[in-house]
Chain A
Amino acid sequence: DAGVIQSPRHEVTEMGQEVTLRCKPISGHNSLFWYRQTMMRGLELLIYFNNNVPIDDSGMPEDRFSAKMPNASFSTLKIQPSEPRDSAVYFCASSDRRRGLAGTYEQYFGPGTRLTVT
């Protein structure tokens, strides 16, 4: 089982550039989550999808951030234009609402993308 795949693992870009982070969830999972982790704010949920539909994007910081899930096996998180305060580790996670013990819906996290905006 490949697990959640994220790319790139590291991204260094200059302020003002567009950044696209990619995620491939575990095959068969139907929920996908994007998180941001920083020392100052801890782990924040940015947006999550269920069956490719965005359910809650209230955690998206501002209009510079957008996320898409065109199909069940791929999602992107885009920042345009990027700013130094966007520097963080971005995690993607997936879960399967249809299986497992009721009430658990374990989330499987990817290895993260470390973004540095200079």
Chain B
Amino acid sequence: GDSVTQMEGPVTLSEEAFLTINCTYTATGYPSLFWYVQYPGEGLQLLLKATKADDKGSNKGFEATYRKETTSFHLEKGSVQVSDSAVYFCALRRGSTLGRLYFGRGTQLTVWP
């Protein structure tokens, strides 16, 4: 079945460090891929998305490229800030599932000043 696997956390970085959170997926066909972010005490918010192979999603300095050959959608940011501290979720959606998303377990990121 469809599933998403993302790297175990927590991830702890100093401000301005480079961030990578790995995400790989299993799905039939050509799913759409997403990264959601959850700040403390809040619901999830869409961070970025990609709908086809080789697409790059980007937002707020974060980027992720849809790699079909490696079934991956790794999240990267060149210079993290304290305000980026949150839980990040990778997710996929197949076209036939009426909008249902399959989420990874989430990765906690803490950025220290």
Q: A112, B99: Cβ atoms under 8 Å?
A: no
Distance in angstroms between the alpha carbons of A31 and B97 in the assembled complex? 12
Distance in angstroms between the alpha carbons of A38 and B55 in the assembled complex? 32
Task: Give B19-61 interface residues, CB cut-off 8 Å to A.
Answer: 32, 41-46, 49, 51-52
Given A97-B99, A103-B93, A107-B101, A4 and B51 contact (CB-CB distance below 8 Å): no
The main secondary structure of chain B at its interface with chain A is: loop
What interface size band does chain B fall in? 20 to 34
Q: B98, A55: Cβ atoms under 8 Å?
A: yes
Given A42-B105, A42-B106, A56-B100, A103 and B95 contact (CB-CB distance below 8 Å): yes
Distance in angstroms between the alpha carbons of A56 and B49 in the assembled complex? 24
Given A31-B98, A97-B99, A107-B101, A4 and B89 contact (CB-CB distance below 8 Å): no
Cβ of B103 under 8 Å from chain A? yes
Cβ of A45 under 8 Å from chain B? yes
Task: Give A32-70 interface residues, CB cut-off 8 Å to B.
Answer: 33, 42-43, 45, 48, 50, 55-56
Q: B49, A106: Cβ atoms under 8 Å?
A: yes
B75-104: CB near A (< 8 Å → 1, else 0) gives 000000000000001000101001111011
Cβ of A71 under 8 Å from chain B? no
Distance in angstroms between the alpha carbons of A107 and B46 in the assembled complex? 8
Q: B106, A103: Cβ atoms under 8 Å?
A: no
Q: B49, A104: Cβ atoms under 8 Å?
A: yes
- Most B CB contacts (10 A, CB to CB) among A50, A91, A97, A104 go to A104
- The chain A residues found within 8 Å of chain B, CB to CB, are 4, 31, 33, 42-43, 45, 48, 50, 55-56, 91, 93, 95, 97, 101-107, 109-112
